[in-house]
Structure formats: C-alpha cells, structure tokens
Amino acid sequence: MKFQSLGKGLESLIPKSSLANKRQDAAKQNGEQPQHKESVFLLEIDRIKENPLQPRRNFDEEELKSLAGSIREHGILQPIIVTKLEREGPSGIKVSYELIAGERRLRAAKMSGLDFVPAIIRKKTDNQNKLELALVENVQRSDLNPMERARSFDRLHNEFGLSHYEIADKVGKSREFVTNTIRLLQLPVEIQKAVVEGKISEGHGRTVLSVEDINQRMTLYKDILEKNLTVRAAESIGRQMKGVSKKVGKKEGRQPRQYFD
C-alpha cells in the first residue's frame, strides 16, 4: 500500500500557512536544527506499534493531555520515527510499523483522536540502534527520569558493549555524567524509587552512594527525607560517616545493580 508523502495530506494536520514556521520554531525550542532530509509520510496510527525498547517508562497524564490539546490546535510539528515491519500472511504481506522515537507524540496523537500521523520511515534497524535513537531523543528533550537514564546507559554498556565514552558521545554528555548515572543502579530499590518520585534528587542519590556501608546509606537517606537536607548538607554528613567507618574498619565492596519495575 502506497502512502502519501509530505504534502496536502499533512496540511489536514498542520495549517498550510504556518507549517514551515511552526516546524522551525519547534526545532529551535528543542535545540534541534529545523531540517528534514528524509521523506515524511502519513501513516495510519493504528498500524504503529510501540517501541519495546523505549527507555521511558513513566508518562505524565496531565502533560499528555496538554500535548494532545496542542496537537488538536496546531498538529504534530515534529514527525515520529518508525521502522517498517513486513509479515507474510494468508492474504499476502502485511505491513505495520514499529516506533523508534516519538512515543510521547504518538500517545498524545491517539488521545487527540488523530487517524494519521506524520512519520519518517527508517530502514530496518537492530535493537541497539532502536535503543540509541529512543535514548538520544529522550535525553535531548529531558524526558527521562534519572533511573530510566541509568537503565538505558547500562543496557548500552552491558548488552551492546558500548564504552562510557561512546555512550557519552552519542547522547552529548560527558563520560563522568554517564558513569555517575549508571552508578545510581547500585542504590537500594527503595532509594531508586525515591529518586524517580522526586522525593530526593539525583545529587542526593550520588551522595548516598559515596557512603560505602549499606546500613549507613539507609541512615543517610532517611536523614535526607526527615530533615529535608540539601545535597551539600548530606555530603557533609556522608563525609562524617565515612570517617567513622574507616576508623572501625568497616568497608563494603561495590554493590550490585538493582532494578525495579
């Protein structure tokens, strides 16, 4: 089945007079260059499957509603990215699509009642490239919470063999940022959840990790919550704990990564 390329069909989603300007404005807002060298197609929304490697797990319902309202008024300003899936069936080859990047836009488009969405179709890609593309987009848009970032970086490192330097280069961050982010997976699950829920910051999490003893980590974490400690105040207490730990000879090895659903 042949699909329409960028043209009149897309104007039903985005007013013709403002299509170019809105694309350019959206690109600037997201820190991107307003250019699309690849062809853009209108695809049936029901034929697009979610990306199983999507690093983002939490989608704020109110933000999605707000984006859906914007889409109803202005259309989708940035095409989603998909790859084509072909499966042979009794009646011939069945074509569907798998999302690579743009799940937030896709969800909001469904919420707004659209039947078609503008999309760039990439050649069949492997799992590593799917994860990289989804990760890069989410990191650039600051859509991932710290633990989602940590899990994604860890997968690229352990499953696909990328070094911390290579990951940093792909997402436009420093090697230290990647290393420190992955270290968050050494936090107890309870503290990881607190980071995700915003009860403590990523900086607090790194401070807790600076304490080697597991029991002291939990003590410091509870102090941060109960006393509403700043990162600097938590660091000061952490240094005191490390001093005590060295005196009594309590040293713990590197803690294994922990995951929660």
What residue ranges define each of the domains in the chain, with the CATH number in brackets? 8-125 (3.90.1530.30), 134-247 (1.10.10.2830)
Cα 68 versus chain centre, distance: 19
Annotated active-site residue 103? The verdict is: yes
Taking 90 as the threshold, does the pLDDT of residue 3 lie above it? no
The HSE-up count of residue 68 (CA atoms within 13 Å, CB side) is 15
- Are 133 and 53 a contacting pair, CB within 8 Å? no
The string of DSSP codes covering 194-220 is HHHTTSS-HHHHHHHHT--SHHHHHHH
In 3D, which of 176, 129, 132 has the Cα closest to residue 153?
Answer: 132
- Are 18 and 80 a contacting pair, CB within 8 Å? no
**What pLDDT score was predicted for residue 8?**
34
Taking 80 as the threshold, does the pLDDT of residue 23 lie above it? no
- Are 108 and 68 a contacting pair, CB within 8 Å? yes
Among 15-19, 106-110, 209-213, 217-221, which stretch is predicted with the lowest mean pLDDT?
15-19
**What pLDDT score was predicted for residue 54?**
67
Residue with token string 């896709």:
106
**What pLDDT score was predicted for residue 37?**
61
Taking 60 as the threshold, does the pLDDT of residue 172 lie above it? yes
> What 3-state DSSP class applies to 252?
coil
Taking 70 as the threshold, does the pLDDT of residue 173 lie above it? yes
What's the whole-model pTM score?
0.57
Dihedral sign for Cα 198, 203, 206, 210, please.
negative
- Are 220 and 234 a contacting pair, CB within 8 Å? yes
Query: pLDDT tens digits, residue range 183-235?
Result: 999 999 999 999 999 999 999 999 999 998 889 999 999 999 999 999 999 99
Cα 33 versus chain centre, distance: 20
**What pLDDT score was predicted for residue 137?**
67
Q: How confident is the model at residue 261 (pLDDT cuts 50, 70, 90)?
A: low
113: left (phi over 0), alpha (psi -120 to 50) or beta: left
For helices 146-158 and 189-196, angle between their N-to-C axes, nearest 10 degrees: 120
Residue of 86, 88, 103, 148 marked catalytic: 103
Number of helices and strands in the chain (H, E): 12, 5
